[in-house]
Amino acid sequence: MDFIAGAIGGGLSTAVGYPLDTVKVRIQTENHYRGFWHCVQETYRTEKVRGFYKGVTASVLAVSVVSSVSFGTYKNFLGAICKLRYGAAEAKPSQLDVSLAGAAAGAARVVLTNPSEVAKVRMQTQRNPHPSTTHQPVSQPKYRGSLHCLKVIIKEEGFGGLYKGCSALLCRDCSASAIYFLSYSALCDWLTPDGRNKPGFLVVLLSGGFAGVLAWGLATPMDVIKSRMQTDESDQHKYKGLIHCVRESVRKEGAKVLFKGLGLNCIRAFPVNMVVFVTYEGVLRFTDHYIKKK
C-alpha cells in the first residue's frame, strides 16, 4: 500500500505544481528573463496556458511511478534498518535511520526519473508560439510531445542521452530525500500531542509542506546544474560533466546562478508536498480502516 499511496500522491502533486515547475526550469536555463513575473508574462504572451503544461502527461505518469518507488523504498528500507538494529521492523527509528532510508529512496528515484526529467526539461524550454500570437506560419516544433521527445533523444544522442545530468540528479535527490523524510518525521513528532499515535491531517499538511521547502532549499544548486546539463543537446556539447557545468555556470554568471529559482522552488514545494503527504497518509489510513472492518 505504500507503493500505491505514493503513486497517487505523486501524480496529484505534479498536476498541482507543474506550471510553476515550467517557469522555474526556464528561469534556470535561460538568461533573458528578468524574474518570475517576466517569465510568466512572456510564456503566456507567446504560448498561452498550454505553454505552462508542456510535457505534463509524461511527467504525471513518471512522477506517479517514481513517487511510488520512493515511498515504497523508504518504508521498506526503514523497516529493514529497524529490524537489523532493533530486532523489529515496527521499532521507533532514530533520525540517522530515517535519513539513510530517505537517501536510499532518493537513489532509487534517479534510475527511473532521469529519462522523464530530460524529456520534461527539453519540452519546457522549447519555444512553440501559440498561433494567435504570430501572423506568420508556425513552424513544426522539434519535439511534438513527451514520447516523441524521448524517441528523438534516443535517435540523436543514443540511450546515454536519456541519462544526461544523472550525476547532478543523484546528488540532488539523495541529499534532498534524506532531509525530506527526516524533517517530515521530526515535524510530525513535534506537532503531534502526547497520547496520539498518528498525526492529524493538519499536522500532516504543515509537516509535508515545510519538509518540501527544506528539501528544495537544499536541492536547488544541483537542480540548476541538472537542468543545464539536460538541455545540452547533441549539437551543443557545452558541458563535459557535472564539475565542468558548475565551473562554467559560476564563471559566467557568478555563484548566485546556483540559486536561480530558489524562491520559486520553495513556493512550489509547499502546496505540492502538502498534497503528496496528505494523499499518502489518507490512502494508507483509508485502506487500514477498510481492512480492519473486513
SS (H, E, C) 277-291: HHHHHHHHHHHHHHH
Cut 0.85: pTM above it = no
Looking at residue 292, its pLDDT comes to 60
Q: Is residue 214 part of a domain?
A: yes
Q: Does 80 score more than 90 pLDDT?
A: yes
Looking at residue 293, its pLDDT comes to 60
Looking at residue 234, its pLDDT comes to 58
Looking at residue 144, its pLDDT comes to 81
Q: Does 47 score more than 80 pLDDT?
A: yes
Q: Is residue 228 part of a domain?
A: yes
* Selection from 232, 243, 264 nearest residue 125 by Cα: 232
- What sign does the CA torsion over 245, 246, 248, 249 have? positive
Give the end of a domain, one of 54, 69, 98: 54
Q: Is residue 255 part of a domain?
A: yes
Tell me whether residue 80 is exposed, middle or buried, using C-beta atoms within 10 angstroms of its C-beta: 0 to 12, 13 to 18, 19 or more: middle
C-alpha cell at 158: 543514443
The better pLDDT of the pair 246, 66 is held by 246
Mean pLDDT of 230-245: 79
Q: Is residue 245 part of a domain?
A: yes
Looking at residue 73, its pLDDT comes to 92
Domain count, the chain: 2
Q: Is residue 2 part of a domain?
A: yes
pLDDT digits (tens, 9 = 90+) for 6-40: 888 878 888 778 888 888 888 888 878 888 889 88
Q: Where are the alpha helices (DSSP H) in the chain?
A: 2-29, 36-47, 56-86, 95-125, 146-157, 166-191, 201-230, 242-253, 262-293
How far apart (Å, rounded) are the C-alpha atoms in residues 102 and 173? 9
Residue reference for cell 554568471: 253
Residue reference for cell 518525521: 185
Q: Does 187 score more than 90 pLDDT?
A: yes
Q: Reduced to 3 states, what is the DSSP secondary structure of residue 143?
A: coil
Looking at residue 146, its pLDDT comes to 77
Cα–Cα distance list, 294 to 190, 288, 290, 291 (Å): 33, 10, 6, 5
Domain that holds residue 46: 1-54
* b/e sequence 113-138, b meaning 16+ C-beta within 10 Å: bbbbbbbbbbbbbbebbeeeeeeeee
Residue reference for cell 528561469: 27
List of residues 6+ apart from 220 with CB closer than 8 A: 258, 259, 260, 261, 262, 265
Q: Is residue 86 part of a domain?
A: no
Q: Is residue 140 part of a domain?
A: no
C-alpha cell at 94: 532514530
Q: Reduced to 3 states, what is the DSSP secondary structure of residue 128?
A: coil
Q: Does 198 score more than 60 pLDDT?
A: yes
Q: Does 178 score more than 90 pLDDT?
A: yes
Q: Is residue 106 part of a domain?
A: no
Mean pLDDT of 71-75: 91
Looking at residue 250, its pLDDT comes to 94
How far apart (Å, rounded) are the C-alpha atoms in residues 102 and 235? 37
* Selection from 167, 259, 162 nearest residue 219 by Cα: 259
pLDDT digits (tens, 9 = 90+) for 117-161: 888 888 878 876 655 555 555 567 788 877 888 899 899 888 888
The vertex-8 CA angle with 212 and 276, nearest 5°, equals 15
**What is the number of other CB atoms lying within 10 angstroms of the CB of residue 17?**
23
Mean pLDDT of 268-281: 90
